Amino acid sequence: MAGEVAQDFYNWMQEIRARIELVLDSSLPTLDGDLTGLHEAMRYALVGGGKYVRPLLCFAAGEVTQACPAALDRVACALEMVHVYSLVHDDLPCMDNDTLRRGKPTVHVQFDEGTALLVGDALQTQAFSLLSETSSVLTASQSLALVHELAHAAGSFGMVGGQAIDLASVGQRLPQNVLEAMHRMKTGALLRASLRMGALCGDPLSDEAREMLDVYASAVGLLFQVVDDILDCTENSNTLGKTAGKDAKYAKPTYVSLLGLDATRALTKQLHADAYKATERLGKRANRLRALANFVVQRIH
Amino acid sequence: MAGEVAQDFYNWMQEIRARIELVLDSSLPTLDGDLTGLHEAMRYALVGGGKYVRPLLCFAAGEVTQACPAALDRVACALEMVHVYSLVHDDLPCMDNDTLRRGKPTVHVQFDEGTALLVGDALQTQAFSLLSETSSVLTASQSLALVHELAHAAGSFGMVGGQAIDLASVGQRLPQNVLEAMHRMKTGALLRASLRMGALCGDPLSDEAREMLDVYASAVGLLFQVVDDILDCTENSNTLGKTAGKDAKYAKPTYVSLLGLDATRALTKQLHADAYKATERLGKRANRLRALANFVVQRIH
């Protein structure tokens, strides 16, 4: 179960990323008319430079249920739109006040605050617009379930709720269970939705398989965050493409500040093992999910 | 066709408003746990003090297609959530920087800017969450069409697009056609969606009836805005429950500044006549729509 990542997986990752970049680009309106400014800023935020983790999770889960790639394109795109809207709003001066994202100036720096606010608002709406288009590869019930899954993950009991707890906890030393609950909402909910929505596009899962996918989602969702916490204090801004050392600077509670670096590394091993075990129960079609878990943990080695 | 508003209509309006207030209140989580702050602020913004114009339009259009009240409750609630999210974001310092709304301090004044940002974000998500819940009174296709209608109206070619044009046009003297295009997006799109979505909850409309409903929507949508422009320069903040005289203060282009008060009043008469004529073609079931048009125009008499 060692965290080995095969060349085949890197090729697949590259292929999905290139594919999603094209789909994202074509999902936004062309630049003409009165709305050029807004659409230009939406494209600036959305296209290029992302790691596209949520699309990758979505496509990997889609392999488990043999989902149609055209359906996964749409879902992956909607997930990335919601993720990017949250980044754009999170970077605003009234939140994290950040100036660097994906190696570029943040949207409110490149344009202005009002534009950044509207870009985030419009990207969220666009995600739901995309998922609710009539489709030849998804039934109305599937599409509606996808909308509901995304809304649940993004809302006040998911991503936005996590951001609210984060906002209220700056400078506080949170106990590990509260820190974990915050991350499960702030980033975990959308990562979990990426997996569930990818799987939803294909054949129905057995109850056991759905449960295993949730176990995997839970472990990998937290793993991403813990790895991010480690990278934030061990890497520089140039490598990350976003401001490094931000957690310590703003006295944000992190796993590293709470447990120390060694215990945090040990936690990543445990989470990786949990994720790995879940994929074994899902069989051969979960190969990509397994490789993804290896890939995440390898970022800190 | 004079703008008379019968007592029966006032009673109906009161009844729908009271009903929607209850539904809105029960659509938000109770105040406990880690998210008390966020949910309290969402409730502060959403419940109480609104005119509930979008719910009223939704219910009035639902009468045309004999829609089920339980379906209309849900749709009206989602519409109001999107409207309120846009107000909360529009009031932020980086947009209109307003301090008074619905007779209360705006959300960022009562709480803080970060909270106001998240309240708007979460209310938008909650609207889509609500519309995508499985329902015994709406088919999956109907619910999906409702999601799409709302997303289209709220997105970059609708409400948010209109806000972007508005943001870019402060201090400019816009020609009437650009001003109209801006309002058709900024407020008209959601008002039109209120009517279309209300009708969507019931029996299918004939092509002609759908067209008439769109004609009505187009006229009444603009009528609301033109009346608002008149009230902004003739009434005080106390009467309006929001800051009066704001358009002139921020050199915002309005119908009054463009055409003068008399020609603007004449325009309201024309729009009212257009709306009225459309309802006549829709027959008796459009009585509420007709009364609503009368009610809007009566606010300036």
More confident call, B35 vs B124:
B124
Question: pLDDT > 90: what percent of chain B?
Answer: 74
Which residue among B37, B148, B155 places its CB closest to the CB of A164?
B37
pLDDT at A1: 44
What gap in Å lies between CA B86 and CA B96, rounded to an integer? 12
Instruction: Tell me whether residue A271 is exposed, middle or buried, using C-beta atoms within 10 angstroms of its C-beta: 0 to 12, 13 to 18, 19 or more.
Output: buried
- Rounded to an integer, the average pLDDT of B164-190 is 89
Tokens representing B49?
């003090």
Are B130 and B77 within 8 A, CB to CB? yes
pLDDT given at position B2: 46
Homologous superfamily (CATH) of B7-298 is Farnesyl Diphosphate Synthase (1.10.600.10)
- Ordered by start, the domain boundaries in chain A are 7-298
Contact B148 A164 (CB under 8 A): no
Q: A interface mutation test: which of B115, B126, B143, B156 has the most A CBs within 10 A?
A: B156
Could B125 and A160 be called an inter-chain contact, meaning their C-beta atoms sit closer than 8 Å?
yes
User: Taking residues B120-136, what's their average pLDDT?
Assistant: 97
Using the predicted structure, report yes or no on whether residue B103 has a pLDDT greater than 70.
yes
Q: Which residues of chain A have pLDDT under 50?
A: 1-2
- Map tokens 């759905």 to a residue: A210
Do A143 and B144 lie within an 8 Å CB cutoff?
Answer: yes
Average pLDDT over residues B226-248: 78
Contact A124 B120 (CB under 8 A): no
Contacts of B152 in chain A (CB under 8 A): 129
Q: How much is the mean pLDDT over chain B?
A: 92
pLDDT at B3 over 60: no
Give pLDDT, residue A250: 66
A157 vs B38: CB contact, 8 Å cut-off? Answer: no
The pLDDT of B196-216, averaged and rounded, is 96
Q: State the Cα torsion B129-B81-B52-B89 to the nearest 10°.
A: -170
Q: What is the ipTM of this complex?
A: 0.94
Summarize the confidence of residues B44-52 as an average pLDDT. Answer: 93
Tokens 């400078």 found at: A171
Nearest CA in chain A to B167: A114
User: Token pair for residue A130?
Assistant: 């995309």
**Burial, B262: exposed, middle or buried (Cβ in 10 Å; 0-12, 13-18, 19+)?**
exposed
Searching chain A, which residue's CA lies closest to the CA of residue B126? A155
Compute the average pLDDT of residues B263-280. Answer: 95
* B154 or A168, greater pLDDT: B154
Q: Is B144–A157 a contact, with Cβ atoms under 8 angstroms apart?
A: no
A97: left (phi over 0), alpha (psi -120 to 50) or beta: left
Please tell me the predicted confidence (pLDDT) of residue B248: 67
